[in-house]
Amino acid sequence: MALYFFVGAGALFVSSARAHDFWIEPQAFRPAVGASVPLRLLVGQHFKGEPALYVPEQFERYIYVGPGGEEKVQGTLGDDPAGAVPVKEPGLYILGYYSKKFEVTFDSLAEFEQYLAMEGLERNLALAKKRASLRSGILEIYTRCAKSLIVAGGAGARDSDRVLGFPLELIAERNPYGGDRTLPLRLIYQGKPLEGALVVAFNKQAPLDKLKLHTDKNGRVVFQLNKPGVWLITSVHMIPTSLLSRADWESFWASLTFELPR
């Protein structure tokens, strides 16, 4: 299996195409008002990741929404951390990263089947077997839709997450900084609730202890979060492309990070 992404006219090879989780990890989830919060973009598994640099050619939108409205995340080309958010007022800040389309190639159906099982995408297996006989190799196009919630000044418990308009998006229906460890979430695809999708939640201190739920007909799940600290929630949606397309599949990868208070 090989994965490629493009920076300007040059191509970089990424050795592990299985490391699909992509998330935003702010340096501080509860910064003081007046602080500038560096942001790391990470790709990997089990909360262990390699940095993705600040490269505008790789994203469609990279924003934050705070009490003052929506702004672009500013950064320096090639930097890690990949930009920073200035915290000018108390309240909840919603950070969002929506990537360009990337490609990954699977050399065999067996490899693709293993990948589908790992990511909870088994419902695509029957069609994958049928399509595998039509051409050699399996080409997938994928997009990353990452969000993070931070709160400044000890305020923002009454504030709420909001829809940023990404193709696949996780929305926290209760502010995780409000002190309640019951967290209802909604998953939407192209603005509509997505039913039957696997949603996975795990804590940075125990990343192999994963909580897994499938969305109901309204795209909702409710997690009982059992530990304080930083959480990552992920979900994947995959669709078949047209038989006339160069690719076989297109997938969308949503993530949400926040810190649950003690």
The alpha carbon of residue 79 and the mean position of all alpha carbons in its chain are separated, in whole angstroms, by 20
Positive or negative, the Cα torsion across 220, 221, 227, 230? negative
Average pLDDT over residues 60-74: 96
Question: Residue 69 pLDDT more than 60?
Answer: yes
Positive or negative, the Cα torsion across 14, 16, 19, 24? negative
Q: 230-248 pLDDT, tens per residue?
A: 999 999 999 998 878 888 8
Q: What is the DSSP letter of 74?
A: B
> pLDDT: is 1 or 172 the higher one?
172
- CA-nearest of 227, 237, 235 to 259 is 227
Q: 83-141 pLDDT, tens per residue?
A: 999 999 999 999 999 999 999 889 888 888 888 888 888 888 888 888 776 667 888 99
Sorted by where each begins, the domain ranges of the chain are 2-152+228-260
Q: Are strands 249-260 and 138-152 parallel, antiparallel or unpaired?
A: parallel
Determine the Cα–Cα distance for residues 177 and 250; give it in Å rounded to an integer. Answer: 34
Phi, psi of 125 (to 5 degrees): -65, -45
Question: Residue 5 pLDDT more than 50?
Answer: no
Mean of all residue pLDDT scores within the chain: 89
Average pLDDT over residues 17-34: 87
Phi, psi of 110 (to 5 degrees): -60, -40
Determine the Cα–Cα distance for residues 218 and 196; give it in Å rounded to an integer. Answer: 10
Q: What is the DSSP letter of 227?
A: S
> What pLDDT does residue 122 have?
87
| Element (DSSP H or E) covering residue 129 | helix 125-132
Residue 204 — pLDDT band, cuts 50, 70, 90?
very high
Determine the Cα–Cα distance for residues 74 and 123; give it in Å rounded to an integer. Answer: 40
